[in-house]
Amino acid sequence: MQYATYRLSAETNARLGEAGLRPLDVEAIGLRALEEDIDDGVDVTTMATVPVEQRGRLAFVARSGGVIAGQLVAAAIFDVVCGDDHTVEFFVDEGAHVDAGTEVMSVIAGTHQLLRAERPALNLLSHLSGIATATQRWVEAVKGTSARIRDTRKTTPGLRYLEKYAVRMGGGVNHRMSLADAALVKDNHVAAAGGVEQAFSAVRAKYPDVPVEVEVDTLEQLDEVLDAGADLVLLDNFTIDHLAEAVRRNGGRARLEASGGLSLDRAAAVASTGVDYLAVGALTHSAPVLDIGADLVVLE
């Protein structure tokens, strides 16, 4: 369910909801970013150099090419800082690929408010756009195959919903958002349960309606969980040859996900084996930010 928040405009609330983001979460992230930037003080530089009554236009411009994600989050931060006294304009769609030099959005408001919101907004916009850009590179690498690029739970604490949103903007698909969404039986569960088949059966018995994915390290383990009825199998650190053999043995019974040791230069080869997904933790834990600048023009 999407909950509106009084600090954000009705338009921002609606846009966030349409994008699958929760306004209260976005507002909370924005507030936290703003609080840590001011640290219970004041912006001493702006207070000393900028007339209080001055107004300006802040243009967000891509300094390098990439995929834009997070404009709505940036807009929410300006809502919090500026209230009703600002105007936001978007020049590209979320998920659009832009060239260097493209103006993606702008905000008109009091200069003090613009500079107060600038860095938190820019940090999140650049970070999310970096994830979307990295995701698109992986998606392009497996183009022509049926494989999809999927994220993991290796996300920045507190930013999972935003980072997984950015993956979607880059053309990827999301794995589970939380531990409650689906079961993923990994090596530690196998060790605790006494075997891969035992672990799978225990989850299936306790939570019969929950999708169950099982991580396997060998083809023999794959055979076990396929016979047990696994919905999805994660093939951990399999070679290309073993991935192809896993697809053959599977025969369409379960969806297969390649994970571990993946790199962009090997993505096409992995996808060509016939696996359904490539699980790429680097989308969220290692994506470099997209270089975006914020240029101020004084209006009055």
Active site residue 154: yes
Residue tagged active-site, from 79, 215, 257, 276: 215
Q: Of these residues, 79, 118, 197, 236, which one is catalytic? A: 236
CA gap 15, 30 in Å, rounded: 16
* Contact (Cβ atoms closer than 8 angstroms) between residue 132 and residue 166: yes
206 is catalytic: no
DSSP letters for 129-152:
HHHHHHHHHHHHHTTTSS-EEE--
Catalytic residue among 119, 137, 153, 266: 119
Catalytic residue among 22, 55, 154, 266: 154
Catalytic residue check, 140: no
Question: Which residue is catalytic, options 63, 186, 248, 253?
Answer: 186
Exposure b/e, 22-52, CB count within 10 A at least 16 = b: bbbbbbebbeebbeeeeeeeeeeebeeebee
Residue 119 known to be catalytic: yes
**Active-site residue flag, 186:** yes
Which residues are the active-site residues?
119, 154, 186, 215, 236
